[in-house]
Structure 1
Amino acid sequence: MGADSGVVERCPRERDIDETGPQARGRVGEVGFAADTDVSGTRWIEVVRHLAAEDPRVVVPGHGDIGGPQLLADVRDYLLSLREETWLRRDSAMSEETITEEVRAVMIERHPQWAGREWIEKGVGCLCAEHS
């Protein structure tokens, strides 16, 4: 599911999911790279929802610590919050630069302990491009 690999491996017998992706506990969601033109924040939300519905016992993210189902819930909640904050501002016709600055401040205030803050701007950019 990661922007760099698009890989999600499942081990159904063990109910394990090996994600190369969106975030690990304590990291912000990594939505997109500057060179990726097909990355979709909304698609990531749906993939994470689908994975969570499979009720995995173990989740192995591409970055960070191995976790359980709460890891997917944290990723989903983060991405939903990022989308909500981005689209709220996009609806007000702010510039993408202003949206990025404001959303970055909000997300850091909500999650001051998270690493990987450089991904916030890329996530905002992807979500701005998807907003209609």
Structure 2
Amino acid sequence: MCPSDPTSPGSRLADPNAAPDLRQSPPPLVQGEPVEVSDGVFVIPDRRIELVPNIGIVVGETAALVIDTGMGPRNGAYVLEQARRLAGPRRLYLTLTHFHPEHGFGAQVFKGEATIVYNAGQRAELRRKGPSYLEMFRGLGPAAAAELGGVELVEPDVVHDGRAEIDLGGRTAVLRAVGPAHTASDQVVLVDDRVLFGGDLFETRIFPIAPHFPPYDVDVDGGKWISVLGELAGLAPEVVVPGHGEVTGVSVIRDVRDYLTHVRDETERLRAAGVSADETAAVIDKNARLRWATWERPEWIAFAVRAFYAAGAGS
């Protein structure tokens, strides 16, 4: 399949009636100086540019950890350059919050430069879905396709089964698999019990993306996602780094949990009353746009509704 095929996942995501149309968005480039958000913890902000994530660089006395790479080798090279600038000759590690292209498809430039650490689910999901997501994201427009040119999907050097600690020298990063939620293999990174990196489990003033793309990907688990957010809020981190949007505090986790809970409850109420999936999505979309009026990308509301609707229909 190619992106021009109307049945391809790329075509589905580029359809302006189904999801955000990114063809007119700025190029998805990681840019700017890393900002220190806590002692030894830096973030290269996404600047609210589509398909650009917040990138983490955690520097200890003996090693440094990079969290996410941006999309494609050019972004990966920029992140590696910034990490080397901050870390100097220290040993480098790389990990990902999840396998999606804008978060991890720049990993190839880190091969041989850093120890790449994934959880077992991330490796499995990358093997299973990586090629189709590469095709999908190339269909989002010329700018995305350009950054994904020459992408090679790389295997990790180290795989953990659900939890790993990386001692960076006076600073510890705990990697914990929490999926299925946004993806089948989401991972959070907690630095010194103070700074939490959560990937796309939460975003600041952006409707969360439920990647419910049947038949290509139906692994999103809204119920587990809500539970995970409750657990993460309970950690009470001082600094919260979302996958996209401004670095903030724990309130963003609660906000996204409240939104998903609302969508789940309303979807189940309408489904039980015999309302179709499309009608349910239309009703909840209208109300959510009003209730969360300051949030961007309301196009993703319907995807979350359909994910919950499908889960309820299968129960």
1:26 is matched with 205
2:299 corresponding residue in structure 1:
118
One-letter code aligned to 1:25: T
Q: Tell me, what secondary structure is at the counterpart of 1:17?
A: strand
Q: 2: distance between equivalents of 1:17 and 1:81? A: 24
Q: CA deviation at 1:116?
A: 1.4
Q: Contact 1:23–1:30 at 8 Å: present in 2 too?
A: no
User: SS of 1:25's equivalent?
Assistant: coil
Shift of 1:10: 1.3
2:277 to 91, 96, 102: 96
**Letter of the 1:69 counterpart:** V
TM-score normalised according to structure 2 size: 0.40
* Residue of structure 1 equivalent to 2:286: 105
Counterpart in the other structure of 1:16:
195
Alignment partner, residue 45 of structure 1? 226
Counterpart for residue 13 of structure 2: none
Q: Does 1:73 align with 2:73?
A: no
Question: CA separation of 1:48/1:55 partners in 2, compared to 1, >3 Å: closer, same or farther?
Answer: same
AA partner of residue 21 (structure 1): D
- Partner letter of residue 279 of structure 2? T
TM-score, normalised to structure 1, is 0.90
How far, CA to CA, are the matches of 1:125 and 1:96 in structure 2? 6
**Alpha carbons 2:182, 2:221 under 8 Å: kept:** no
Distance of 2:188 and 2:182 partners within structure 1:
8
Q: Which amino acid aligns with 1:7?
A: Q
Alignment-mate amino acid for residue 18 of structure 1: F
Contact 1:3–1:33 under 8 Å retained in 2: no
C-alpha displacement of 1:93: 0.9
Query: Residues 82-126 of structure 1, C-alpha deviation per residue, up to 9 Å, x if partnerless?
Result: 111111111111110100100100100111221011211110111
Q: Name the amino acid aligned to 2:253.
A: L
% of aligned pairs identical?
31
Q: Cα distance, 1:130 vs. partner?
A: 1.4
Equivalent residues of 1:19, 1:60 under 8 A apart? yes
Structure 2 equivalent of residue 6 of structure 1? 186
Aligned residues: 131
Q: CA deviation at 1:14?
A: 4.3
Q: Which amino acid aligns with 2:208?
A: G
Q: Kindly report the root-mean-square deviation, in angstroms, between the aligned alpha carbons of the 2 structures.
A: 1.7
Instruction: Give the secondary structure class of the aligned counterpart of 2:257.
Output: helix
Pair member with larger Rg: 2
- Distance in 2 separating the partners of 1:14 and 1:83: 30
* Structure with the bigger percentage of strand: 2
Q: Which runs of 5+ in 1 are unaligned?
A: none
Judge which range, 54-63 or 18-27, deviates more. Answer: 18-27
Alpha-carbon distance between aligned partners in 2 of 1:47 and 1:28, rounded to the nearest angstrom: 17
Higher relative contact order (CA 8 A, sep 6+): 1
Q: What is the CA-CA distance between 1:20 and the residue it aligns to?
A: 0.8
Which residues of structure 2 form unaligned runs of 5+? 1-180
After superposition, what is the alpha-carbon deviation per residue over 1:62-101, rounded to whole angstroms, capped at 9, x for unaligned?
A: 1111111111111111111111111111111111010010
